[in-house]
Every structure is written in structure tokens, then in C-alpha cells.
Chain A
Amino acid sequence: MSKILIRGAKVLGGEAQDVLIDGETIEAVGTGLSAGGATVIEAEGRILLPGLVDLHTHLREPGREDSETVLTGTRAAAGGGYTAVFAMANTFPVADTAGVVEQVYRLGQEHGYCDVQPIGAVTVGLEGRKLAELGAMHESAAGVTVFSDDGKCVDDAVIMRRALEYVKAFGGVVAQHAQEPRLTEGAQMNEGVVSAELGLGGWPAVAEESIIARDVLLAEHVGSRVHICHLSTAGSVEIVRWAKSRGIDVTAEVTPHHLLLTDELVRSYNPVYKVNPPLRTERDVMALREALADGTIDIVATDHAPHPHEDKDCEWAAAAMGMVGLETALSVVQHTMVETGLLDWAGVADRMSFAPARIGRATGHGRPVSAGEPANLTLVDPAYRGAVDPAGFASRSRNTPYEGRELPGRVTHTFLRGRATLMDGKLA
């Protein structure tokens, strides 16, 4: 493999430096590095980040290849600057056995756009009744460490307690989709002023907050770590802040869409805004941004949820929940966190690479940009401005809430172990 010299990029938003990649690793970081025979990428004004890591992606394969496959999903990931994604377990069949997680893992390796780390289901069939073979999935070639019934809440307190305890044996973590099922029967959107007016079934904040409160207390009681998926309310932030102050081993993620969009958009009845957990209020959005800035929320995770057009081109109640996010996540974070002064680029590197890799134990990812480290890197042009055009997505699905919206920043290059998966904005 030939050498690549990235010249003059601001590493983590700091001083401009040259980064020389040799094969799969970073050979040197410094100023005035000589190109030698290396391919030179002129990167003045660009930001160099460690390759992004998404702890929450739906790749849909196996089972729903009409909406996404491991290939199209990892191409979308590379386009969005990601070098590793954690693939959620709610496929058909469910990723609740070693066989399924190994299949997904191998597909990721074969295609080579982005490392795919499968997440294993906590319970058999995501049914919440019987623990899946968590140990077997951990010991498989896929080496699963994150377990989640995402899409469904592990609502049985005893099952949740056992799962939290059981995965301690191999350093695993349970990622909870916090949604009290009885409080959200028939839920269509955030319960509040807008749902009252629109006559859509309400998804109350308390349905999320009560589960988070229970689970941080369970984690404390059994001495386990717990991860909270797509935290969406100001109240949830308060609970996680309290839990952390108490020393409970809890981590939490927020999606890009919950950092930007509110339930006011539902007034259009356009199902492109239908997502679970639902878009909340302006007050929640501001609390989430603040919590991501102060570290109460550890990471940004996309909850990339592709759906075919027909599942969104219909009336609200009939539509599927979810939004694609891999190809717009960094732009939304730049818009909501960087350009508001809440987070610098080093902070972005932490929330979108270092911390998610740490939580998910993704070896080789979320590493510092320094000599000897794996060359998993993302180059961003922060000055770029442009309207989101879903026609250009690599994802098989187009269900983005940002169509036509102007967002800043563009990933120009992504390197996975020294190989460019994205080059000058084009997938390799």
C-alpha cells in the first residue's frame, strides 16, 4: 500500500499539521513533512478527525434489504466520515445468535467500507422474556460487547437486572431503548401542546425518564455499566446527570435529529419527521445540546434507520418510525454544537469517535491522531455550505428530515486503516 500525506489539516481543529500515512498506520504527524513518494492531499482549512464511530446504526441486513444492506449502509457510513458502525440487532432474523452476528460482521469485512460491529439482542427475538446467548455472541468471531433490544425496551425489571449482571463476565454493556411500553401504547409523537392539537397519540417524556431512572438504579445496585440509547428529554438529562454525580457507571447517547428538530415539524403531518423516540420540544433540544457539551451525554449516535419510500409516502399513522442519519450527522453536529460555540472540534472527536469507541470497546477505533496509531481518519471541510440532497445519498433509503435544508460542513475523505473509502467526496 502506498503512502498518503495529508498536508496542512487542523488536527482535531488545532494547529495545522501534516499527517503521513504508511500502509495501515499513521507514520508521522508534524509540520513540513516531506512527501517522498506519497500521494499528497492538500488539506488547508480542513479539520482532521479520528474516524467517526457510530454506536447505533440499523443496517437492516438480513431481512430488510429493500431499505438497506451492509454494503449500502457502510458506503453511507464512509460517506459520512465513519470508520466503524455498531449494527443494531432488530433484523430478520434477529441478531440473537452467534450465527447472525457473525454473518453481519463478515459482510462488513468483505465490503471493506467500514468496520461493522454487530450488536447482539438482549433477549431472544427481542421479545423481552428470555436472555439470548449473550456469551456465545461475545465469543463468536463478531466479538459482541454491546447488547440491545433497540426498537423495544427491556421493560421487565428482572430481565434487565439479569442482563446487566450477566454481561459483566466479559465486559459487555446493555444499551437500553428506554420506553415504558404501557405508557406509549399507540404513541405517534411527543405528548404535549402539539399532540393535543394534532390529535396524535402522545409519547410522554415520563415513559423514557421512568425507565432510565429504574435502570441507573439497577446498574448501581448490581455494579454494572449501562448505556442509554437516544436520550431525548430534558428530564432524562437530569436523571443521567444525577446518576453520574452518584458514581453510577452510565453512558448516554443523543441523535443528531434530537439536537436540531422539534415536534413543531409534525404539524406538517409529513412522516419524514416520525421517529422513535419522537422529536421533542425546543426546551428539550437546548437541554440535550447543553448536556452533550458538558459531558452528561457522552456521545452522538445516529440511530440511522432506513425505510423504503412507500413506508413514508403515506398518512402519519401508517408510516414507519425512523430517519437516515449517517450521511448528515457530522453536519448537524457542526451546525448545532460547533457553530453555536458549545463544542470545539476536539469535543466533536470525543463525542463522535473516542467516547463511542470506548463504550463499545471498538479496538483500533477512536484512537488519537498520532504516530503508530491505526490510520482511521476523517477529513472535513467545515467551510462548505450546501442544501441536503437525498438523491446523492449512498444509503439505499432517502428518509431524511433535512432534504433541502442548508447544513454546514462536508466530509471529503475517510480512511479505514490507511485505505481511502471516501476520496474527494467520492466513495472509493
Chain B
Amino acid sequence: MMRHLISAADLTRDDAVLILDTAEEMARVADRPIKKLPTLRGRTVVNLFFEDSTRTRISFEAAEKRLSADVINFSAKGSSVSKGESLKDTAQTLEAMGVDAVVIRHGASGAPYRLATSGWIDAAVINAGDGTHQHPTQALLDAFTMRRRLVGRDAGLGQDLAGKRITIVGDVLHSRVARSNVDLLHTLGAEVTLVAPPTLVPVGVGNWPCEVSYDLDSTLPKSDAVMMLRVQRERMNAAFFPTEREYSRRYGLDGDRMAKMPEHAIVMHPGPMVRGMEITAEVADSGRCTVVEQVANGVSIRMAVLYLLLGGNESAVSQTRTEESK
């Protein structure tokens, strides 16, 4: 296992399957009355958030606490960063306090990579989303959700997503979720199709291991999972599309469109959803929509990642059993 988790593209198939399998073990912990493992006792993890993201931060924090790590939350707002402190100084300050891992969310693409490779600090770095670059734990939790739903909770163990057809719809250009998912899903053997208006697909997408379509309706019948990306209303002002209504009409998922999907196919969304924009309430609240599961799975995935990066080679579960037998 690697020392940092910066990009979904850095994961091999075996790395990714190991993380998904480990997350299944972690998920079982959540079903117990005492949802805690001693694995990271005495280790300190800082959640270094330069961008507001309550959901991701809470998810990491829950994962860290369930592994018994000491958790420090650092939000750039109101901190020395807002007074002009550099990323380097902030990171070194935190490391001087004895931090073993840094979970970083940053608005600048590449900031976690810089933190991990510039010799500024020695701690493990976990990317919790950087600019429009990567969000690897999101891709992992999405793959975990797909594997559970499309392959099976037990049947999925040790398996990848070979042959599954995944459609990702929306603002690909500005989406780190899309980039991470394309990389990871490709590694796991899935076939990915991106659907978006041409203005929201990056120049250079031709080199990505996926298909690109501008037509949602023709793609839906061939999808095992459809992932809707959030579309920010302000994109409209930069002429990426004419109006919110036109966007919804062409690229939004409503009940009629959902009916075109195969029976078994699921609807996913990384959240937060903009109801009425990319997804209607009817779809968001349907049994095929996995949004809430994705949130729960996020904690398991983040536990798995933290455990594998920091916990060494012992099995998480055997350690748990020892703990329980005491």
C-alpha cells in the first residue's frame, strides 16, 4: 500500500479491491453497538480544510474517531491562513505538533500533491478533494456503493466492477468527482460514459479512458449506474448553458428518464444535490437513488483508507476480535 492517497489514478486494481474489501470489514463495525476500533489509538490525524465542506469533513472525522485516532480539525477560515500564512507554514506548524496524517481539502488543484512531495512534511497525506483535480475517497465510496448494489455485498468481496456500464452526467469540466471516478472505474474494469453539454467537457478529454456523449437519453438504457453531478447555478452566468430550465430539460434526471434505465440500474449523486436542477425530487427520493448509502459508505471507505495508510499490515478485524475478547 502506498504512503499517501493523492489521486485515484495512483491506485492499482489490487490496491482498490483491497480498500473496498477492507471497507466491508469496517462497515460491519458500524453494525455493532460499540462502533469503535482501537487501530489508530495514539495516532493523530488533522483534517486540514481550506475549503468549506462540512459533509466530507464530518465523514473523515467519524472515520478517524471510529479508529480511535486523536482528531484535530483545522479550518482555514478564521485561522492564520486567512491572515496570509502559506500552505507550507501551516503544514509545518501542524506537523510540529506531532501529526501522523493530514487529510487535506484545498481549492487549488495539486495542493495535496505539493504537500506530499515537496519535503515540507513527513506525515501521510490524504486528499479530501483538491480544486477540479481529484477526490479519491469519493471515487472509492462510489465504487464501493456500486459493487454492493451491482455485484453484492458478499459476492462482491475480492471482485472489481468488470463490465459494469457507468454513466456520469453533468459538469465534468469543474468536477474532481468525475476525474476520480473515471480513473478508478477504469482501473476496476468498468466502462464509463461521460454525458454533458460540450461546454462542460474539458478540452483534452479524448485521452481519458472513457466515452463522451452529449445525449443523455440514448445512454440511459445502457447504464448499470447513473451518477448525477452537481451543477452550480452560477455556471449559467459564464455561458456554459443558457438557462437552468434548459439544462434540466436536456441533462436533468427526472422520473421519465429514470424509467428508461434498466430495472437493476441505480442512481447516484455525490451530494449536495440541487433538486430541480440536475435531479428531480421524484428521482432523489426513489429507492433506486443511493445518495444516503453513499454517505454511510463514505465513513467505511475512509476508515479503510486511514487504516491501510496508517495501521500497518495487521488485519483490522483480527485486532478487533482481540479487543472484544478482552
Instruction: Please report the C-alpha to C-alpha distance between residue A196 and residue B111 in the assembled complex, in whole angstroms.
Output: 16
The verdict on A199 contacting B88 (CB below 8 Å), with A191-B204, A316-B108 known, is no
Nearest CB of chain A from residue B43's CB, rounded to whole Å: 26
**CB of B269 within 8 A of chain A?**
no
- Of B118, B131, B203, the residue contacting A317 (CB under 8 A) is B131
Considering the complex, give the chain B residue whose CB is closest to the CB of A318.
B108
Whether A316 contacts B179 by the Cβ 8 Å rule is: no
**CB of A197 within 8 A of chain B?**
yes
The verdict on A193 contacting B206 (CB below 8 Å), with A198-B133, A199-B133 known, is yes
Nearest CB of chain B from residue A330's CB, rounded to whole Å: 30
Instruction: Please report the C-alpha to C-alpha distance between residue A318 and residue B110 in the assembled complex, in whole angstroms.
Output: 11
**CB of B275 within 8 A of chain A?**
no
- Of A191, A197, A270, A318, the residue contacting B179 (CB under 8 A) is A197
Whether A196 contacts B113 by the Cβ 8 Å rule is: no
Whether A196 contacts B205 by the Cβ 8 Å rule is: yes
**CB of B302 within 8 A of chain A?**
no
Q: Which of B83-135 contact A (CB under 8 A)?
A: 86-88, 106-111, 113-114, 117-118, 130-134
- Of A193, A204, A316, the residue contacting B110 (CB under 8 A) is A316
**CB of A194 within 8 A of chain B?**
yes
Instruction: Report the interface size for chain A: residues with CB under 8 A from the other chain.
Output: 23
Instruction: Please report the C-alpha to C-alpha distance between residue A317 and residue B87 in the assembled complex, in whole angstroms.
Output: 12
- Enumerate chain B residues within 8 angstroms of A314, measured Cβ to Cβ: 86-88, 114
Whether B207 contacts A315 by the Cβ 8 Å rule is: no
- Enumerate chain A residues within 8 angstroms of B165, measured Cβ to Cβ: none
- Enumerate chain B residues within 8 angstroms of A191, measured Cβ to Cβ: 203-204
Instruction: Please report the C-alpha to C-alpha distance between residue A178 and residue B247 in the assembled complex, in whole angstroms.
Output: 35
Considering the complex, give the chain A residue whose CB is closest to the CB of B208.
A196
Q: Which of A197, A268, A318: most chain B Cβ within 10 A?
A: A197
Whether A313 contacts B204 by the Cβ 8 Å rule is: no
- Enumerate chain B residues within 8 angstroms of A198, measured Cβ to Cβ: 109-110, 133
Considering the complex, give the chain B residue whose CB is closest to the CB of A190.
B204
Whether A194 contacts B204 by the Cβ 8 Å rule is: yes
- Of B114, B132, B208, the residue contacting A199 (CB under 8 A) is B132
**CB of A374 within 8 A of chain B?**
no
Task: Report A176-207 CB contacts with B as 1/0, cut-off 8 Å.
Answer: 00000000000010011111111110101000
Considering the complex, give the chain A residue whose CB is closest to the CB of B174.
A199
- Enumerate chain B residues within 8 angstroms of A156, measured Cβ to Cβ: none
**CB of B176 within 8 A of chain A?**
yes
Instruction: Please report the C-alpha to C-alpha distance between residue A200 and residue B108 in the assembled complex, in whole angstroms.
Output: 8
Instruction: Report the interface size for chain B: residues with CB under 8 A from the other chain.
Output: 27
Nearest CB of chain A from residue B293's CB, rounded to whole Å: 27
Task: Report A303-315 CB contacts with B as 1/0, cut-off 8 Å.
Answer: 0000000100111
Considering the complex, give the chain B residue whose CB is closest to the CB of A195.
B204
Q: Which of B197-212 contact A (CB under 8 A)?
A: 202-208
Instruction: Please report the C-alpha to C-alpha distance between residue A310 and residue B176 in the assembled complex, in whole angstroms.
Output: 28
Q: Which of B155-202 contact A (CB under 8 A)?
A: 176, 179, 202
- Enumerate chain A residues within 8 angstroms of B204, measured Cβ to Cβ: 191-197, 202
Whether B202 contacts A196 by the Cβ 8 Å rule is: yes
- Of A197, A310, A316, A317, the residue contacting B86 (CB under 8 A) is A310
Whether A193 contacts B207 by the Cβ 8 Å rule is: yes
Task: Report B273-314 CB contacts with A as 1/0, cut-off 8 Å.
Answer: 000000000000000000000000000000000000000000
Whether A199 contacts B179 by the Cβ 8 Å rule is: yes
**CB of A242 within 8 A of chain B?**
no
Considering the complex, give the chain B residue whose CB is closest to the CB of A194.
B204
Whether B87 contacts A315 by the Cβ 8 Å rule is: yes
Considering the complex, give the chain B residue whose CB is closest to the CB of A193.
B204
Instruction: Please report the C-alpha to C-alpha distance between residue A318 and residue B88 in the assembled complex, in whole angstroms.
Output: 12
Whether A202 contacts B203 by the Cβ 8 Å rule is: yes
Whether A192 contacts B203 by the Cβ 8 Å rule is: yes
- Enumerate chain A residues within 8 angstroms of B88, measured Cβ to Cβ: 313-314
**CB of A384 within 8 A of chain B?**
no
- Enumerate chain B residues within 8 angstroms of A317, measured Cβ to Cβ: 107-111, 131
The verdict on A316 contacting B203 (CB below 8 Å), with A196-B208, A198-B133, A199-B133 known, is no
- Of B87, B113, B132, B203, the residue contacting A318 (CB under 8 A) is B87
Nearest CB of chain B from residue A101's CB, rounded to whole Å: 33
**CB of A92 within 8 A of chain B?**
no
- Enumerate chain A residues within 8 angstroms of B133, measured Cβ to Cβ: 198-200
Nearest CB of chain B from residue A336's CB, rounded to whole Å: 25
**CB of A269 within 8 A of chain B?**
yes
Whether B114 contacts A315 by the Cβ 8 Å rule is: yes
Q: Which of B52-89 contact A (CB under 8 A)?
A: 86-88
Whether B134 contacts A269 by the Cβ 8 Å rule is: no
Whether B131 contacts A199 by the Cβ 8 Å rule is: yes
Instruction: Please report the C-alpha to C-alpha distance between residue A200 and residue B176 in the assembled complex, in whole angstroms.
Output: 11
- Enumerate chain A residues within 8 angstroms of B132, measured Cβ to Cβ: 199-200
Considering the complex, give the chain B residue whose CB is closest to the CB of A188.
B109
- Of A195, A269, A270, the residue contacting B202 (CB under 8 A) is A195
Nearest CB of chain A from residue B196's CB, rounded to whole Å: 13
Report the 3 A-B pairs with minimum CB-CB distance, sorted nearest first.
A196-B204, A269-B110, A199-B133
**With contacts A198-B133, A200-B133, A313-B86 known, what are 8 further pairs, Cβ within 8 A?**
A188-B109, A195-B204, A196-B203, A197-B207, A198-B110, A269-B114, A315-B106, A318-B87
Residues of B within 8 A of A (CB): 86-88, 106-111, 113-114, 117-118, 130-134, 176, 179, 202-208
15 residue pairs bridging A and B, Cβ less than 8 Å apart? A192-B204, A195-B202, A196-B207, A199-B130, A199-B179, A200-B110, A204-B203, A269-B110, A269-B113, A310-B86, A313-B88, A316-B114, A317-B131, A318-B87, A318-B108
